[in-house]
Copies of this chain bind each other. A is one copy, B any other.
Amino acid sequence: MDIKAYMHTLGKQARAAGRQLVGADTATKNAALLAIAEAMAESEAYLCEENQKDLAAGKANGLDAAMLDRLAITPAGVAGMIEGLRQVAALPDPCGEISDMCYRPSGIQLGKMRVPLGVIGIIYESRPNVTVDAASLCLKSGNATILRGGSEAFHSNQAIATCIAKGLEKAGLPASCVQVIETADRAAVGELITLSEFVDVIVPRGGKGLIERISRDATVPVLKHLDGICHVYIDDRADLDMAFNIALNAKTHRYGVCNAMETLLVAEGVAFEILPRLAEAYTAKGVELRGCEKTRAVIDAKVATEEDWGTEYLAPVLSIRVVEGMDQAMEHIEQYTSRHTEVIVTEDYSRAHKFLRQVDSSSVMVNASSRFADGFEYGLGAEIGISTDKLHARGPVGLEGLTSQKWIVFGTGQIRD
């Protein structure tokens, strides 16, 4: 197989399909999403069978239990994907939205129209449900997609692709609106991320290694999400009960998520009051604590090293630092943050104001758990990822982040003098 030629063909087809999708109305796109759901419902047994091939190969290749679990498609998993498709169909269509219309002194009427980006390349790791999630968000936002899943989910993804193609065709849209790469050859990824002529943006979903590699080698722009090293700072003017609840929730609600707190910063004025209480609660939940010297003077904790401050644990581990006050907390954040989400707990108006304005992360919160930094909680309906970039889309990226705005002008014959 000539991978270069194959990817060029996929790209060309995707561009043509994307051009067609720009003109597709909302009803057609929704009909396609619902038809895909129906095709998946009819193919439940087939999807599970094909998934068994991947699971068997995964076991033979020594994948661990957690990876096999992520890879598995169960009837409940199929139902979840179907529900996801229905939810995306029910979301408002971002395309064609016109805003900021105004008359300019020249007499032209100027505004902005929201339009699809064109063609989106998605590169992801084991979970096969990403195939449906990503394809449905791209389709709803009027974009053609080229998907590249992990080789360990190859058969599952191909089976899902069959259902997607059926649904698209039933709704009268070309099957090439959603193309799943039909080879496990790794060279396909290299081609996809440099296919500037046909691909407008790459969304990598997976571990840090995958995203760094893609960002380094891509010539197509990448919408990326690196670490989630999120901080909660408990100010000395915090309501300490509130601070306790937020700090506990931000760390222990779920461990393996990017919006979990990884470092707790505590003002020294309240460290003696709040830290023992928190330490007891964390320890009861099995969270390992690592602290700075001042922290270790108050509670039992291992020594936090320089490396700890820059680590996304994604696990029941927490680093804790006692700081002089908000300014030092902000300095710590500026030095170690991955610019995902930071929280201040305080009742002080001026400090809340300064923290909100000056902390440079995709979400900045006062008196709320970092766990709210999420597309569903923010009302986006669904998310394709959480961007830690500053350009284009920042934070949770929903349908809007998969579109751009072009300028539109209604004239009545205006020319420039």
Residues of A within 8 A of B (CB): 19, 22-23, 96, 102, 104, 106, 108, 110, 113, 115, 117-118, 200-201, 216, 219, 221, 239, 242, 245-246, 248-250, 253, 334, 354, 356-358, 360-369, 371-373, 377-379, 389-392, 394-396, 404-416
Contacts of A404 in B (CB 8 A): 390-391, 394
Q: Considering residues A201, A365, A366, A415, which has the most beta carbons from chain B within 10 angstroms of its beta carbon?
A: A415
Q: Considering residues A242, A354, A377, which has the most beta carbons from chain B within 10 angstroms of its beta carbon?
A: A377
Contacts of A362 in B (CB 8 A): 406-407
Q: Are A395 and B406 in contact (CB under 8 A)?
A: yes
Known: A118-B360, A360-B118, A365-B408. A413 touches B246 (CB 8 A): yes
User: CA–CA, A277 to B113, complex, Å?
Assistant: 35
Q: Are B367 and A394 in contact (CB under 8 A)?
A: no
User: CA–CA, A118 to B394, complex, Å?
Assistant: 14
Contacts of A110 in B (CB 8 A): 378-379
Contacts of A358 in B (CB 8 A): 19, 22-23
- A259 to chain B: closest CB distance in Å? 9
Contacts of A391 in B (CB 8 A): 117, 200-201, 221, 391-392, 404
Q: Are A96 and B357 in contact (CB under 8 A)?
A: yes
Q: Are B390 and A394 in contact (CB under 8 A)?
A: no
Contacts of A405 in B (CB 8 A): 394
Q: List 8 A-B contacts (CB under 8 A).
A: A104-B378, A106-B377, A367-B414, A368-B409, A372-B409, A372-B416, A373-B407, A391-B392
Q: Are B411 and A367 in contact (CB under 8 A)?
A: yes
- A227 to chain B: closest CB distance in Å? 15
Contacts of A22 in B (CB 8 A): 357-358, 360
- A67 to chain B: closest CB distance in Å? 27
Known: A106-B377, A378-B104. A415 touches B246 (CB 8 A): yes
User: CA–CA, A366 to B414, complex, Å?
Assistant: 10
Q: Are B360 and A390 in contact (CB under 8 A)?
A: no
Q: Are B23 and A372 in contact (CB under 8 A)?
A: no
Contacts of A416 in B (CB 8 A): 249, 253, 369, 371-372, 377
Q: Which of B23, B245, B406 contacts A354 (CB 8 A)?
A: B23
Q: Are A394 and B365 in contact (CB under 8 A)?
A: no
Q: Are B363 and A253 in contact (CB under 8 A)?
A: no
Q: Are B245 and A406 in contact (CB under 8 A)?
A: no
Q: Considering residues A104, A392, A396, A413, which has the most beta carbons from chain B within 10 angstroms of its beta carbon?
A: A413
10 nearest A-B residue pairs (beta carbon):
A368-B411, A249-B415, A365-B409, A242-B413, A367-B411, A371-B416, A391-B392, A392-B392, A363-B407, A390-B404
Known: A19-B334, A249-B415. A118 touches B390 (CB 8 A): yes
Q: Which of B216, B368, B406, B412 contacts A394 (CB 8 A)?
A: B406
Q: Are B361 and A406 in contact (CB under 8 A)?
A: yes
Residue of B with least CB distance to A401: B391
Q: Are B106 and A364 in contact (CB under 8 A)?
A: no
- A238 to chain B: closest CB distance in Å? 10
Contacts of A413 in B (CB 8 A): 239, 242, 245-246, 367-368
- A407 to chain B: closest CB distance in Å? 4
Contacts of A221 in B (CB 8 A): 221, 389, 391
Q: Considering residues A248, A377, A414, which has the most beta carbons from chain B within 10 angstroms of its beta carbon?
A: A414
User: CA–CA, A200 to B23, complex, Å?
Assistant: 35
Q: Considering residues A245, A250, A364, which has the most beta carbons from chain B within 10 angstroms of its beta carbon?
A: A364
